[in-house]
Amino acid sequence: MTQQTRPNGTLRHLLTLEGMSKQQLEALLSRAQKFVKVPGEPPTHKRSLTGVTVANMFTEPSTRTRVSFELAAKRLGADVVNLEMQLSSRVKGESMLDTIYTLEACHVDVFVVRDAEAGVPGMVASNVQPHVCVLSAGEAHVAHPTQGLLDSLTILQAKKKFDGLVVAIVGDVKHSRVARSAWHALATLGAAEIRIVSPRGLAPEASEFAGCERHTSIDTGIAGADVIMMLRIQKERMATAAIPDADRYFAKFGLSSERLAKAKPDAIVMHPQPMNRGIEIASDVADGPQSVIRNQVSNGVAVRMAVLEAVIEGRQS
Ligand code: CP
């Protein structure tokens, strides 16, 4: 596994939240909180990344992660290049590493990598020059570390603490990098109970999510929960025959307002998006008073500013 930290203890890469200490996670959340703005307030603009070049390299589609990494880098004064992978020389057969070496020769300092294949962000991190940093923007079903951080920040803002919280992670956990990164973060930050709530066919292996409660009914899974984290059905990671029927899925596992009433009255509803409205979640819940889904998006920019600043600051110390 690629080392994420430098010998001086500073963060160099961010590939996974697994194994990060509570102190490291809290430091990133605290740094991110400083970048959070209320709606209507102008965003922070700083020059802490002046002279730094960030390359966004996404081989899977993205709206939130790609845009927020770009905005985060620009708001800190970095130069940003968004490589359109389908228009790049990758389609002529150039390897990922030759693409990386080419961009390194153009003085790219930070690679933001999303890839459908497990291991790609780590492979890139193992092959870049010592001053270069790699940030995972989503690795197969394995990890989405900045999503785990923004989810944690959103929970902290709403609940003011992690201790004692009951968190239900609901839906297609099997294929979800969001669920894995949320679990790694929330277990370390002190959530009391993390429930994995999924239909049998979409449940992760028994060897995964150690210490979590398992539920195959959403009704028992969200009962008394403080936080309900709904997940998208990851059709792109399933054989066509395995994709659940939309109506049947909503009837059995969709979060409706009737079901939401089983959670604590002040429970918050999360979803990493993109959402399949009417399949995983009813629109009146997604847009309702308990939803913090748009806060998650706003926090995504703040978290990515924090991570970019941390890895570049650490390079200078
Ligand atoms: N939550 C998330 O990763 O969204 P995107 O796929 O749009 O980046």
pLDDT (tens digit per residue) in 295-310: 999 999 999 999 999 9
Residues 6 or more apart whose CB falls under 8 angstroms from that of 94 comprise 88
Q: What is the pLDDT of residues 156-181, one digit of tens each?
A: 999 999 999 999 999 999 999 999 99
> Quick one: average pLDDT of 236-243?
76
Determine contact, residues 55/108, Cβ cutoff 8 Å. yes
> Quick one: average pLDDT of 146-162?
98
Confirm or reject: Cβ of 60 under 6 Å from ligand 1. no
**Closest to 159 in 3D by CA, of 262, 258, 270, 68:** 270
Determine contact, residues 169/197, Cβ cutoff 8 Å. yes
pLDDT band at 23; cut points 50, 70, 90: very high
Confirm or reject: Cβ of 62 under 6 Å from ligand 1. yes
User: Mean pLDDT in the chain?
Assistant: 96
Please tell me the distance between residue 8's alpha carbon and the centre of ligand 1 in angstroms: 32
Tell if the pTM clears 0.75, that is, is over it.
yes
Confirm or reject: Cβ of 136 under 6 Å from ligand 1. no
Pick the residue whose CA is nearest to atom 6 on ligand 1.
62
Q: What is the pLDDT of residues 74-115, one digit of tens each?
A: 999 999 999 988 899 999 999 999 999 999 999 999 999 999
pLDDT of residue 241: 67
